[in-house]
Structure 1
């Protein structure tokens, strides 16, 4: 699978709530530096982290606005729109950096505006 195909599937699966297929896009030893959750290491850790998403979010959409692919690396600017289980809306601009090995994500870094996540998720002060 090409880098672009993997990146497109990353957003397709996330927006469909298909977290199992989303996790399959990562290598077994993938590292994700997530701005709110910190460093997540390994595909199993990712599976645990997203297992609660269906209960945390009534809706979750992360729509790519600009994608740049250079070999086995990609950068994506996107817009996240979500509604928490408590009905709180979240709107955030996002930047993701991806590094792939053999068509699977081996490293990802996530950067976004944290303000929309403070109230609904109890992350004041972060």
Structure 2
């Protein structure tokens, strides 16, 4: 996965680095985030509020893209997540993100993973 003008690669770098100001600039003003187990977020500010909140319980985390499929303005990415909670519990799971791009920015992001398996790791 290249960097530079590749908004999807920059997305993963920003999430992994908790670089919220860079992440903010990767979404359209009217962006939508549909993440499994969470309410749909609408608008750049609402979308951006999701990330620090969902990652606050992790002392370390890494979303590692393992496969990418590009279809015009849509990109599908398979991800391996690995992390450790602030309490020291390891967490690892597979996920799929679907990006809809518009004018070089993320207009919609769908994120899917097994919420029951993750909840069991966190319990």
Q: Please, what TM-score do these two structures have when normalized by structure 2? A: 0.86
CA drift at 1:53: 5.1
CA RMSD of aligned residues (A): 2.0
**1:43 matched residue in structure 2:** 44
Off by >6 Å, runs of 4+ in structure 1 = none
Distance 1:107 1:46 in 2: 10
Flag structure 1 segments of 5+ consecutive residues without an equivalent. Answer: none
**1:75 matched residue in structure 2:** 76
1:47-82 deviations in whole A, cap 9, x for unaligned?
222233563210110000001112211000010011
- 2:97 touches 2:112 (CA, 8 Å); kept in 1? yes
Partner of 1:68, secondary structure, is strand
Q: How many pairs are equivalent?
A: 120
Q: Please, what TM-score do these two structures have when normalized by structure 1? A: 0.84
Distance 1:15 1:51, change over 3 A: closer
Flag structure 2 segments of 5+ consecutive residues without an equivalent. Answer: none
Distance 1:104 1:93 in 2: 24
Distance 1:57 1:71 in 2: 34
